[in-house]
């Protein structure tokens, strides 16, 4: 297809140059050098398939109005034997070319001849690309925004494969940090409610899972929850399943041990659910990369030390800050809080350093929601500070979608269920 379009562009340029040559030869135009002119696809199909501003740029050297030049050119533009059926003038002097039906037939023939290889190129031959997409929070089920990211990411990966890249698809599992702490807290609160007298009253009624979870979810008087936890019915279902399997034994454990036991039980089920949902969507991954590995193997601390050694950090108010303003960011960013706990920014730095410096991909592509646009400059700043070419990271921003019910915008919230 590209070859056919390039051929059409070449024919249009040649037709214009030949027409100009004839008009100079017969004295219609002065023998002046022809300035560079554009051959392009017009935004509006009504203006043809290919358009040129040749008459516009020749107005000065030919000392004539663009429209008059275009009209003269039209008398010499013979499209016989070319891929065009007609030529027209538009506006102040644009010359518009329209494809002949035979050109479309040649495109169809090229598609049929090439079969499944149609459109393939070797542009990315010898280069490795990592496309990370969806990477939904594993503390709950996917939502429609994740699904849209899946379509975009998987299609982009397929296009890059057709362009010759060796592509790997990756899902980043956020199985560490604040969201997992909140997940554990949420699960324990629901589990302890089930173990309570009122919870046991419900258990004794032998409800099915849907009825049980809905009853607890809607009975906020007997089963209240704080605002800083996940409130979805999936949390109740996990806690009930854990209770059905292990009974009340974990309720006697220290809080942290109980939370960890519940996370160890529920998180794999959620991740398995992500696998199954994405498989229904015909999306498969080469790698499921766990954030926890970056903490466990020292990668998170390593990037902190590298940034310190490079002179890109400073301490203020007990926290460790990264000088992202040195790289064009609007303000410096906290790396380590005053309580000694790294911000979520640090494992993200370590993860992208792993992609480009450790695993040495030639290109890393992230699919982000548009609400993460401000995150891109600081991430690239960190890569630059670590000696990694930040241009190797491309971030595709996916616009947000509003869901409307009864004329009112409905907000999606994993926390509120």
- Two structure tokens written together for 106: 């040649």
* Mean of all residue pLDDT scores within the chain: 94
pLDDT value of position 292: 97
Please check the confidence at residue 415 and state whether its pLDDT lies above 70: no
Q: Which residues contact 15 (CB under 8 A, 6 or more apart)?
A: 77, 78, 79, 82, 84, 97
Q: What is the mean pLDDT of residues 191-213?
A: 96
Residue 97 has pLDDT above 90, yes or no: yes
Residue 89 in tokens: 């003038």
Give me the pLDDT at residue 416, please: 58
Q: What is the DSSP letter of 412?
A: -
What is the tens place of the pLDDT at every residue in 136-166? 999 998 888 888 999 999 999 999 999 999 9
Question: How does residue 403 score in pLDDT terms, banded at 50, 70 and 90?
Answer: confident
Contacts of 167 (CB under 8 A, 6+ apart): 128, 129, 130, 131, 157, 160, 161
Number of H helices, E strands in the chain: 15, 14
Decide if domain 128-177+277-404 falls under CATH 3.40.50.620. yes
* Residue 117 CB partners (closer than 8 Å, separation 6+): none
Domain boundaries, the chain: 2-102, 128-177+277-404, 178-251
Could you read off the pLDDT of 26-73 as tens digits, one per residue?
Answer: 999 999 999 999 999 999 999 999 999 999 999 999 999 999 999 999
Sign of CA dihedral 379, 334, 297, 272: negative
DSSP letters, 336-394, are: E-TTSPBPTHHHHHHHHHIIIIIS--SEEEEEEEGGGTTHHHHHHHHHHHTT--GGGEE
Distances (CA, A) of 20 to 8, 23, 154, 294: 18, 5, 48, 65
pTM of the full structure: 0.78
Burial 186-206 (b: 16+ CB within 10 A, else e): bbbbbbbbbbeeebeebeeee
Q: Give CATH for domain 2-102.
A: 3.30.1360.70
> In this predicted structure, what is the pLDDT of residue 2?
60
Q: How far is CA 212 from CA 158, 233, 237, 248, in A?
A: 43, 10, 8, 17
pLDDT tens-digit profile of 235-285? 999 999 999 999 999 999 999 999 999 999 999 999 999 999 999 999 999
Which candidate, 298, 305, 286, 296, places its Cα nearest to that of 361?
Answer: 286
In the predicted structure, residue 373 carries a pLDDT above the cut 90: no
């Amino acid at each position: 297809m590209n070859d056919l379009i390039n051929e059409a562009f070449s024919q249009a340029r040649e037709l214009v140059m030949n027409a100009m040559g004839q008009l100079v030869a017969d004295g219609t135009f002065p023998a002046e050098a022809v300035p560079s002119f554009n051959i392009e696809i017009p935004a509006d199909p009504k203006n043809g398939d290919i358009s040129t501003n040749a008459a516009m740029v020749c107005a000065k050297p030919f000392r004539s109005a663009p429209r008059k030049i275009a009209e003269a050119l039209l008398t010499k533009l013979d499209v016989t034997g070319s891929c065009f059926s007609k030529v027209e003038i538009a506006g102040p002097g644009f010359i518009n070319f329209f494809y002949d039906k035979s050109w479309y037939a040649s495109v169809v023939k090229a598609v049929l001849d090439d079969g499944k290889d149609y459109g393939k190129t070797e542009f990315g031959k010898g280069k490795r690309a990592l496309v990370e997409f969806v990477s939904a929070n594993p503390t709950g089920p996917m939502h429609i925004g994740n699904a849209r990211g899946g379509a975009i990411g998987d299609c982009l990966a397929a296009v890059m494969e057709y362009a010759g890249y060796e592509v790997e698809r990756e899902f980043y599992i956020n199985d560490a940090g604040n969201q997992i702490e909140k997940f554990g807290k949420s699960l324990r609160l629901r589990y302890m409610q089930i173990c309570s007298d009122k919870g046991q009253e419900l258990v004794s009624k032998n409800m099915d899972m849907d009825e049980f979870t809905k009853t607890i979810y809607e009975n906020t008087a007997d089963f209240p929850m704080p605002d800083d936890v996940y409130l979805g019915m999936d949390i109740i279902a996990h806690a009930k399943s854990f209770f059905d399997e292990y009974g009340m034994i974990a309720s006697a454990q220290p809080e942290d041990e109980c939370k960890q036991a519940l996370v160890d039980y529920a998180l794999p089920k959620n991740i398995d659910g992500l696998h199954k949902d994405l498989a229904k969507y015909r999306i498969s991954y080469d790698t499921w990369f766990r954030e926890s590995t970056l903490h466990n193997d020292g990668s998170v601390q390593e990037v902190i030390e590298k940034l310190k050694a490079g002179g890109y950090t400073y301490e203020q108010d007990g926290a460790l800050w990264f000088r992202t303003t040195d790289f064009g960011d609007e303000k410096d960013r906290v790396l380590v809080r005053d309580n000694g706990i790294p911000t979520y920014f640090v494992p993200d730095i370590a993860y992208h350093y792993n992609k480009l410096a450790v695993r040495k991909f030639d290109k890393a592509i992230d699919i982000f929601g548009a609400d993460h646009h401000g995150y891109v400059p600081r991430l690239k700043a960190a890569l630059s500070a670590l000696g990694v070419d930040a241009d190797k990271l491309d971030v595709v921003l996916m616009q947000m979608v509003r869901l409307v019910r009864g004329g009112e915008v409905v907000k999606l919230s994993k926390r509120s269920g």
